[in-house]
Amino acid sequence: MAPTSSRNASHSTHAASGWDTRRIAVTALLCAMAAICTLLLEFPILPGVTWLKYDPSGIVALIAGFAFGPATGAVVSVIPYLVHIATASGVYGVIMAILATFSLVMPASLIYRRQCTMRGAVLGLVVGGIVCLAACIVGNLIVTPFYTGMPLDAVIALIVPALLPFNLIKIVINCVVFVLIMRPAFKAMGIEVPNAGDAR
């Protein structure tokens, strides 16, 4: 029990120590990285559905949320996507991008904040993935007809062949890559991470 308590205390120090200069600087860096990802690294991942594009900015937001707490995760889930206002995606792209990232990062980082173990991380990602998937589908049903003029029936018809598989693949990629880079990323930022044995 002692090692886990130590880890929880270590993580709480980073997550709840306030917005000191280091945390502000790291948050700004993560926001910049996420913005670059969403602007320059987006590409289609579902054959025949080129208008739905993936970018790895969600991974950066997960790092922010798990390393520094839900508040930092929220900032990195919102600010980087504001750049889309000046792109072809416009307000519609901003809303959907924020919805997808925020709904994944917040539940996951809140759970990990309470249980700073690999089991807590995996549980958080699973719950966050489920919330994100539901939020993206519902968001498309509400936002897409309003901003694109597409009939609601047409959006509903896209759920099974396009929206569901795209968002599921995106969530899996984000979560798997995050788990793979979590330890080295945290070590680079000087944050203690749980051992693999904590997943038992």
pLDDT digits over 116-162, tens only? 999 999 999 999 999 999 999 999 999 999 888 899 999 999 999 99
Q: Which pLDDT score is estimated for 51?
A: 87
Sign of the alpha-carbon dihedral angle for 57, 61, 62, 64: positive
pLDDT digits over 39-71, tens only? 999 999 998 888 899 999 999 999 999 999 999
Quickly state the pLDDT bin for 200 (edges 50, 70, 90).
very low
Q: Which pLDDT score is estimated for 88?
A: 79
Q: Which pLDDT score is estimated for 193?
A: 73
Average pLDDT over residues 183-194: 87
Q: Which pLDDT score is estimated for 42?
A: 93
Residues 6 or more apart whose CB falls under 8 angstroms from that of 166 comprise 45, 46, 49, 52, 54
Decide: residue 131, CB within 10 A, 0-12 exposed, 13-18 middle, 19+ buried: middle
- List the structure tokens of 86: 């000046």
Buried b (16+ CB within 10 A) or exposed e, 64-96: bbbbbbbbbbbbbbbbbbebbeeeebeeebbbb
With a cut of 60, say whether residue 22 has pLDDT above it.
yes
Q: Which pLDDT score is estimated for 17?
A: 52
Q: Which pLDDT score is estimated for 196?
A: 58
The domain defined by 2-37+54-192 folds into Arp2/3 complex 21 kDa subunit ARPC3 (1.10.1760)
With a cut of 60, say whether residue 7 has pLDDT above it.
no
Q: Which pLDDT score is estimated for 177?
A: 98
Q: Which pLDDT score is estimated for 2?
A: 41
With a cut of 70, say whether residue 14 has pLDDT above it.
no
> The tokens 């330890």 sit on which residue?
183
To the nearest whole number, what is the mean pLDDT of the chain? 89
Q: Is the pTM of this model over 0.75?
A: yes
